[in-house]
A = this chain, B = another copy of it.
Amino acid sequence: MGTVSIKDVAARAGVSPGTVSNVLNRPEKVAGDTRARVEAAIRDLGFVRHGSASTLRAGHSRTIGLSVIDIGNPFFTDVAAGVEDVASERGYAVILGNSSGSRMKEERNLLVFAEQRVRGVLITPSDEDGARLDRLRERGISVVLVDHPAERSGQCAVAVNDVTGGAMAVSHLLGGGADRLGYVGGPAAIRQCQDRRRGAEQALAAAGRDPGDLLELAMPAMTARAGQQAAEKLLADRSLPDALFCANDLLALGVLRGLLQAGVRVPDDVSLIGYDDIDFASASTVSLSSVRQPTYKLGRVATELLLDECDNPDTHAHQQIMFQPDLVVRESTR
């Protein structure tokens, strides 16, 4: 009834538990017929290995932790898809943690990862406190930063150049004849927001404009709801810029909805550009211009780096990879 262990399998196959373990972990070490007998016993008894016992004895598990800022954002589900594909190819399970941008929840997720003795952690940190991650590394848990450049060498990181992306977006807006520009950002602690704003300012400067001209609006979240609130605020202030750059597409879609509801025409009255090029950007009321990132690849590459670090700790060389974004022009900036 209860649970069938390696011993039961051994008994039925007429071998010792050690041999069963070998069949499970180093099948090449055991003779053909014994192996067949053991495999038959496993099947007959419906044995499934006790992962915890295995982890306990082996000192490490076959799981990795993935901590993201907002699983409701298609950007992160795409990343997660890439992560999961690579992980399951290599026999790893993924524990998903959603920080929702809350430092406390992120902390709790990392604690869970540590308790589960995950082999490694993939994280898009929600702030710049690298010390927590170092504490994980001290525990022997590899950490790879996702969508975040390395603060220093000695770690792997996979990111997309957000400064360039921000600059692309804003010089596109300027090229379209925009004069008064606004930036709708997210929480100040989120690096992506800062970098994209910096890129925006650089583009302004490059066009001979004062970077201080950029009207900035920082929302507490990067969701469609927050975007709609941003639009309402902009409308209430009677200071509507003629071009808006949003830190991500969810914000932009929310802004778009808010503007259209108020009778503001996009792009005639206001040009609008988002960031991430999520699937829905091209399907919106007015299709949304955006900055595309190699999202799925980000997840894949990060996971490959992490598992390489886990599986070949001696030969592994840390890498910091930086992809470049692409501008995607659609109706909202024409």
Q: State in angstroms the CA–CA spacing of A169 and B49 once bound together.
A: 47
Evaluate contact between B49 and A115: CB separation under 8 angstroms.
yes
| Chain A, 228-258, CB within 8 A of any chain B CB | 253, 256-257
Instruction: Produce 1/0 per residue, A62-76, CB < 8 A to B.
Output: 010000000110100
A119 and B32 CA atoms in complex are apart in Å by 36
Interface residues of A in 53-112 (CB under 8 A from B): 53, 55-56, 61, 63, 71-72, 74, 77-78, 80-81, 84, 88, 93-96, 98, 105, 108, 111-112
For residue A152, CB closer than 8 A to chain B, the reply is no
CB nearest to A135 among chain B residues = B46
Q: Indicate if the CB atoms of B52 and A3 lie closer than 8 Å.
A: no
Q: Is B96 within 8 A of A283, CB to CB?
A: no
Q: Which residues of the other chain, B, contact A253 by a CB distance below 8 angstroms?
A: 280, 283
In the complex with contacts A116-B93, A280-B253, A283-B285, A51-B52 CB distance below 8 A: yes
When the two chains form their complex, are residues A84 and B98 in contact, meaning their CB atoms are under 8 A apart?
yes
Known: A51-B52, A224-B279. A93 touches B112 (CB 8 A): yes
Tell me which residues across on chain B come within 8 A of A284, comparing CB atoms: 280, 283-285
Q: Is A317 an interface residue (CB 8 A)?
A: no
Q: Say yes or no: is A26 at the interface (Cβ < 8 Å to chain B).
A: no
Q: Is A50 an interface residue (CB 8 A)?
A: yes
A139 at the binding interface (Cβ < 8 Å): yes
Question: Residue A283 contacts which of B78, B81, B117, B280 (CB distance < 8 angstroms)?
Answer: B280
Contact across chains for B48 and A114 when beta carbons are under 8 A apart: yes
Contact: A257 with B283, CB < 8 Å?
yes
**A52:B53 contact, CB within 8 angstroms:** yes
Asked whether any CB of chain B lies closer than 8 Å to the CB of A2, the reply is yes
Contact A257 B280, beta carbon cutoff 8 Å: no
Judge whether B50 and A115 touch: CB under 8 Å. Answer: yes
A282 is an interface residue with CB less than 8 A from chain B: yes
A contact residues vs B (CB 8 Å cutoff): 2-3, 46, 48-53, 55-56, 61, 63, 71-72, 74, 77-78, 80-81, 84, 88, 93-96, 98, 105, 108, 111-112, 114-117, 135, 139-140, 224, 253, 256-257, 279-280, 282-287
Known interface pairs A48-B115, A71-B80, A74-B74; 11 further A-B residue pairs with C-beta atoms within 8 A, sorted by A's residue number: A2-B140, A46-B135, A49-B115, A50-B56, A71-B81, A81-B98, A84-B98, A96-B96, A256-B283, A284-B285, A285-B286
